Structure 1
Amino acid sequence: MESSNRCSVIVVGAGISGISAAKVLAKNGVEDILILEASDSIGGRIKKHSFGNVSVELGAGWIAGVGGKVSNPVWELAVQSGLRTCFSDYSDARYNIYDRSGEIFPSGVAGDTYKKAVESAIQKLRTDQDSLVSADVSDVPELSTSPETPIELAIDFILHDFEMAEVEPISTYVDFGEREFLVADERGYEYLLYKMAEEFLFTSDGKILDNRLKLNTVVRELQHSRDGVIVRTEDGCVYEANYVILSVSIGVLQSHLISFNPHLPVSPYPNRAR
């Protein structure tokens, strides 16, 4: 088992939140940092792929929240970086829905069918809840805290996750404006992350060569106490720091891919953590 020297802060995850946190620390004089990223590149869900000589965004594609009284920092970075964007109001969006046999399913019929299914399921849930109110407490079955059936997953998605994973009013639009711009740059949305990273990490020819960033490093355990934190990775390495910033997704936390010692407090609303 390999052990490294202790540093001030370990950042787990090199998505936009992790890179932003590390940048702020470096800007304020905390350069003794270490960034651990499970994949082979920075950006997290911001990722592109070459398809037919065209860069296709696999994750983030729009910069939402532009034109308000307060300037969106992501938009500012895009302008400073010369990232090519175009105004998008979805009027020219085109898509097809296919059935199981591979035939195109009329979008209007699909939308109506889905809407009716969701409304019917919601009505059934309301009826079931009304019946539980008058039932004996001892006879009430234990309710699952997570959606399980296909229709429950569909309802959870359409009510809580679709588009913004946030109930109205959407804070992004309230704070920064309602205009949206599609990123249409061959360098990809991820180019913004590399521009951020090069402000505090050593880069050459567009590649990050700083040993404070460790890619392909999967974190498996976090041990925390008053004396600091110990981070153990899948390859058997051990890293120590005074503090740790965990910037992985909610999905990673819910899948228990990273263990905590001692355990973190459990939220009473695990499905509403966004």
Structure 2
Amino acid sequence: MESRNRCSVIIIGAGISGIAAARVLAKNGVEDILILEASESIGGRMKKGSFGGVAVELGAGWIAGVGGEKPNPVWNLAVESGLRTCYSDYSNARFNIYDRSGNIYPSGVASDAYKKGVDSAIRNLREDEPHNATTPETPIEKAIDFILHDFEMAEVEPISTYIDFGESEFLVADERGYEYLLYKVTEDFLLMSDGKILDDRLKLNTVVRGINQSTDGVTVTTEGGCVYEADYVILSVSIGVLQSQLISFNPHLPVHNNFVL
């Protein structure tokens, strides 16, 4: 079992909220921190992969809320970092299809093909639907169910992002990926070289299993048996992780109707 000297703050989760919290602490002189991340990289839902030799986003893909009276901090960071983006126009599918240079696909054929394909799939599904609603099971059923219900109806108006920052959206179309923004943020307070984080205050592949709070502070135990101590802990994991009970808490977190408060 490994122990380390006590630090001021342990941050659990190296997604955008965890990294942002670490950056704020560092800017305010709190550099005695430790960031524990369960996966092999920072970014959380900002994650890219490779498909056919091209970088594709596996998580976050758009910067929403651009062009309003208030500046969107994510958009500002993208501009400062030179992240390549493309304007998304949902009134015309053609304007959401780009070539490798980021230019809008020049033909209206794409728009017609997209519309015909979606309309045909929806029509076929409705014709095959029984009178009683059923749960979609096949990949195509799930995709169409998403288009019919979730895509258009899942968000409740008004959406604060668009009210505060603007109504435009931009697709991230950069080979470096959306996650590049987060690596730019870490340059302010973590040791880096050639785009890689070398700072030992960030520990990847470290799954937290237990958090114990006492009058002496907080003790964090990992899956590998490591024990870390701090004065404070900032928990930056998803609600799903909390509900899964992957992490045990002492004392227990308050729960109401299966939601962690």
> For residue 108 of structure 1, what is the aligned residue in structure 2?
119
Give the conservation status (yes or no) of the 8 Å contact 2:243–2:258. Answer: no
| 1:163 Cα deviation after fit | 7.9
The runs of 5 or more residues in structure 1 that have no matched partner are: 95-104, 122-148
- Pairwise CA RMSD: 3.1
Distance across 2 between alignment mates of 1:179 and 1:64: 7
> For residue 182 of structure 1, what is the aligned residue in structure 2?
171
What one-letter code is carried by the residue in structure 2 that aligns with 1:38? Answer: A
| 1:110 Cα deviation after fit | 3.9
Superposition map of 1:1-274 within 5 A = 1-90=1-90, 91-92=93-94, 93=96, 107-111=118-122, 113=125, 150=135, 162=151, 166-268=155-257, 270=259
Give the conservation status (yes or no) of the 8 Å contact 1:160–1:167. Answer: no
Give the conservation status (yes or no) of the 8 Å contact 1:12–1:36. Answer: yes
Look up the SS of the partner of 1:232 in the other structure: strand
What one-letter code is carried by the residue in structure 1 that aligns with 2:59? Answer: G
Tell me which stretches of 4 or more aligned residues in structure 1 moved more than 3 Å.
109-114, 157-166
Give the conservation status (yes or no) of the 8 Å contact 2:7–2:229. Answer: yes
> For residue 100 of structure 2, what is the aligned residue in structure 1?
none
Give the conservation status (yes or no) of the 8 Å contact 1:65–1:179. Answer: yes
Distance across 2 between alignment mates of 1:120 and 1:258: 40
Deviations along 1:152-197, whole A, 9 cap, x unmatched?
xx8xx88997589652211111111110000011111010010001
Look up the SS of the partner of 2:240 in the other structure: helix
Give the conservation status (yes or no) of the 8 Å contact 1:48–1:59. Answer: yes
| 27-36 or 251-260, which deviates more | 251-260
Look up the SS of the partner of 1:2 in the other structure: coil
Identify if the C-alpha distance between structure 1 residues 184 and 24 changes in structure 2 by more than 3 Å, giving closer, same or farther.
Answer: same
> Structure 1 length as normaliser, TM-score?
0.76
Deviations along 1:20-75, whole A, 9 cap, x unmatched?
11001100111111000011110011111122221010001100000111111000
What one-letter code is carried by the residue in structure 2 that aligns with 1:108? Answer: D
Distance across 2 between alignment mates of 1:120 and 1:266: 35
Number of paired residues?
233
Identify if the C-alpha distance between structure 1 residues 120 and 22 changes in structure 2 by more than 3 Å, giving closer, same or farther.
Answer: farther
What one-letter code is carried by the residue in structure 2 that aligns with 1:78? Answer: A
| 1:120 Cα deviation after fit | 6.6
